[in-house]
Amino acid sequence: MIKNSALLDIQSLTEAAECLRLLAHPHRLQIIQLLLFKGDFSVNDLAAECNLSQPTTSEHLNLMQRCGFLKKTAEEEGRTVKYSVAEPHLKDLMGCIQRRFS
């Protein structure tokens, strides 16, 4: 149970709802799951793993990056960009989802 002192104000709840709305997509959850449990991926590797086109995958990644869920890192040669999870609480959220729906 949440204590009254821990209740969030409406602005914080609005921001939370926006973040949850952005995540409420099966392919985005699949991408988060892959990044959390299998490590960093390039756009092309994620597209292949999720059976999506590269442009669609890029769109999903860009949305989640703008929200602060993901970060980009360049490989040493600078040509390959890989994505990883930037928001550590996504692991808890995915854990809840896996426990509930597995």
The domain spanning residue 46 has which CATH number?
1.10.10.10
Residue type, 61: L
Per-residue pLDDT tens digits for 22-51:
999 999 999 999 999 999 999 999 999 999
Print the domain residue range for 72.
Answer: 12-101
- What is the C-alpha separation between 65 and 97, in angstroms, rounded? 21
Model pLDDT, residue 74? 78
Query: Is residue 7 one of the residues assigned to a domain?
Result: no
Which pTM does this prediction carry? Answer: 0.87
Query: Does the pLDDT value for residue 6 go beyond 90?
Result: no
Q: Is 32 within 8 Å of 88 (Cβ atoms)?
A: no
Query: Is residue 44 one of the residues assigned to a domain?
Result: yes
**For the chain, what percent of residues have pLDDT higher than 90?**
85
Tally of domains within the chain = 1
Query: Is residue 55 one of the residues assigned to a domain?
Result: yes
- What is the C-alpha separation between 68 and 79, in angstroms, rounded? 23
Residue type, 97: I
Model pLDDT, residue 22? 95
